[in-house]
Amino acid sequence: MDFSTAASFVRTLGLFFATAIAEIVGCFLPYLWLRKQGSAWLLLPAVASLVLFVWLLTLHPAASGRIYAAYGGVYVATALVWLRIVDGVRLSALDWLGAGVAMLGMLIIVAGWGSRN
């Protein structure tokens, strides 16, 4: 994948965030059902969200192992933002540092996509 343009990288990053949100929603809804006495009907949108997650993974422009490795960094950052917004937990400086390190790892992996198969 050629990331010579900023637009190409932004599209890939946006796809990573959309993938992470689909995965988190797909896991959060069963959590609500199992741990918070939510309706079993929550499982239907959970399944749909996880199907969307899997489909979104297929749209990424690299070998699967590289996608999963780079995606992991975005997932960490997205999960921490979810923790803040949905769960209402205030993030610590170490949370933000960890998210930054994870995103740096993602950037390093994505930067190498164009140089090898």
pLDDT in tens, the chain (117 residues): 455 667 888 888 999 999 999 999 999 999 999 999 999 999 999 999 999 999 999 998 788 888 899 999 999 999 999 999 999 999 999 999 999 999 999 999 888 876 655
Buried b (16+ CB within 10 A) or exposed e, 80-117: bbbeeeeeeeeeeeebeeebeebbebbeebbeebeeee
Which tokens is 64 given?
Answer: 């699967």
Hunting for tokens 């949108």 — which residue is that? 45
Q: How far apart are CA 106 and CA 71, in angstroms?
A: 7
